[in-house]
Each structure stands twice: as structure tokens, then as C-alpha cells.
Amino acid sequence: MLLVNTLREERERVLTGLKKRKLDAAAEIERIVRLDDRRKELQSRNDELLAERNQLSKEIGDLFKSGKKDEATAKRERVNAIKQDVSGLEEEMDTVVRELEEALLQLPNVPHEKVRAGSSAEDNEVYRPYEGTLPKVGSDAKPHWELAETYGIFDLELGVRTTGSGFPVFTGQGARLQRALVNLFLDRNTAAGYTEYAPPLLVNEDTARATGQLPDKEGQMYHVQTDDLYLIPTAEVPLTNLYRGELLEADSLPIRLTGYTPCFRREAGSYGAHVRGLNRVHQFDKVEIVQLAKPTESYAKLEEMVDHVAGLLDELGLPYRILRLCGGDMGFTSAMTYDFEVWSAAQERWLEVSSVSNFETYQSNRLKLRYRTERGTELVHTLNGSALALPRIIAALLENNQSPEGILLPEVLHGYVGMQRLQPVVA
């Protein structure tokens, strides 16, 4: 959530930045400033009345002690009138504060100056292109959903039977591969200084709002209505909220967190090869990394996280490129986002496997997450990234490494999986 002071003091920067999202927010910003002005007026008048009431209450006691009953009674009537005025002011202030917060919640984050303007993925910048030769697997190569049947990796029909479309059941070698990838990613993350957590998979409304899933992505989250809880769309949500409301010491930053969770997301319904198999599912496993950083260091930490994710893909031997998203393709809460895409040889297209983002103070303002400085307290910057999301990683590993001898696994996985290649399942 943007700070009202930012909207006041940096109005032109905010307007210019939001135009990169194809959003003209001038009228809304003016409305927010007016609401904040009214809030201040009401608060000031309320404070004056309360001070007058306190002074009168003191005087009334002295007057009664002095036997000046009539004067005391008149002042008591004024106190009663003040109570009514204060009640009305507080009621109006509650309404204004609620409208102000709702208006602020509707404004997305301001893109960083390096983010280009644009309205869709077509306008994204290729930040680091893939410079090698893309693997070719021949005209007889199979996409991962066909390889899954041959090698017993996952079963979509079992998922439909038990739950519904978009909930794959990993079996045999597939379940083992998935577990191996989770362990590899967690091991690499903890070796890089991230503390591992196993967070809840359900969160309350306050938690979802604090990291920006509400109200922006309400339709994409699974909601347990009886308990008013939400299934997490990413471990970012509970991990970042572990520090909600905290006042941190400067020397404790940066704080690095990592965690593995299943993730749950409703996806817009569509059909075709681009959403077949593991390309788009409602439940998937992902390992996340989160950092809480000083504002002066957050973009250096963002590059650090990008390099870390790149290192994971290098170890897996997967061809990848890095995009810097344009304003219109970035998430609602992000100031800058890098997307990683791996090459899918059988499908001959790029598949997104990670997003790494800096939210600056947008989330921490909602979280009320600050750190102590020589000047007082300041909001921290929050960052997160997928390290990594498993479905499309598995899809690319299967497709790119298929051979007559089986599906060859990258060397880094041999010890984790306990084999060098996956073998076809004997019917």
C-alpha cells in the first residue's frame, strides 16, 4: 500500500510510474489527498474538543468544591454537548478512515524507473537472453504429458477422480523426482543463508491482505468459508507475515527466509497445448525465498536473488532467459519483477518457472514492518522469488532430456533421486 505522504510529496513521480501500468491515477490520488485532509481536520477538531472536555471536567470539580453550583452545572452541560460532538466526529472519522484505506488498497505499486511502460507480456524486456544453442530433440520427441504416461511420472486422470481438473497425482519416479527437487532447492537456499521454515498452508484475511493478495487476487484464491481462511497461493504470504508488526534492529537486516509448500491457485479457464499437462495446474509444489532488507540495499539484494535462482537453473542444465517485466505485466504489489523462463524442447516454447520481485515498502506498509534507524523508524523493503516452482521445471527436465536410454537426469540430481536416468514403466 502506498503511503499518503508519498502521494503528496512525490505526486508527479507516482503518476509517471503508474502510467507505465497504463493507469491514469490523477483523480484517485486527488481523492485520497482530500480524504486524508478531512481525516486530519476531524482529528484536530476531535483533539481540541477532548482537551476542552478535560479542562472543563477539572474546573467543574473545583467549582463544586467552592460552592459555585450554577457555574459547575453550566460547564457540565457543555461537557455533555462536547461528548455528543465527539461521538459524531469519531463516527465520521471512522467512515473517512475506512474510505481512505479502501482507496489506497486499490492503487498498485509504483514501478521502478528502470521498468519500461507496457500493457502485456509483448512489451517485456529480455534482460538476460539465453546465449547458447537451444536443445533439439527431434520430430519424434514427446511432450511431457505423454512422457508422464510412459515413465509413470504423474497421472492427471487420478487427480480428476479425487479432486478435479488441474490437480495432478505424482507417482513412482515422478514423486521421487519432485521430492528430490524440493530437497535440492532447500539445500541450496539454506547454504546461501536462508533460514528454512515450514509455514501453514492456510492464512487468515489479515495475512492475505498484508502481502497484497487481497483485494487484488481474491478470485484466484481458494477460500474456506466456514473458517474464513484462504489456501496459500505461494509461501511468500505466510513467510513474509511472520514479521508483521515487528520493529527490527538495523543490524538484523537483511533477513532471509525460505520454505517449501504446496500452492493453490484458481487459474482462468482456457484450452490448448499451452495449458496441457503441468503447464497450468491448480495445486503445485514450490520453494520460495524471501528477504527483508534496508531500502538502500534492496535492489542489490534483488540482483543477488536473481543470481541465486540463475545458479539453480545452471545446475539443472536447463536453458533459460530472464525477462524484466513491463509495468502492465507486473504484479499489483511489485515495483520491479524479473521472470525466469526455461526452454521446453518438445513444445518449442519458453515456460515461466520463477518470478523474483522487489516490493519496496508496498507490503511493509500494510505489514507495519519497520526497522530502527538513527533518524527514528523506517519501513523495510520486502522481496521474494520462486526458487523454484516445480511443475514446469519437471516438464522441461522430461522434454529436454528424453533419449532412447531413458530420461537423463542432471548430475546434481543423481544423489537426490538415487539414479542417473528415469526408465519407462513396464506395463
Binding residues for ATP: 265-267, 281-284, 352-355
For residues 371 and 247, the answer to whether their CB atoms sit within 8 Å is: yes
Q: Would you call 274 exposed, middle or buried from its count of C-beta atoms within 10 A (0-12, 13-18, 19+)?
A: exposed
Annotated binding site: which residue ranges?
234, 265-267, 281-284, 288, 352-355, 384
Residue 18 to residue 285: CA distance in whole angstroms: 33
Annotated binding site for L-serine: which residue ranges?
234, 265, 288, 384
Rg (CA), the chain: 28
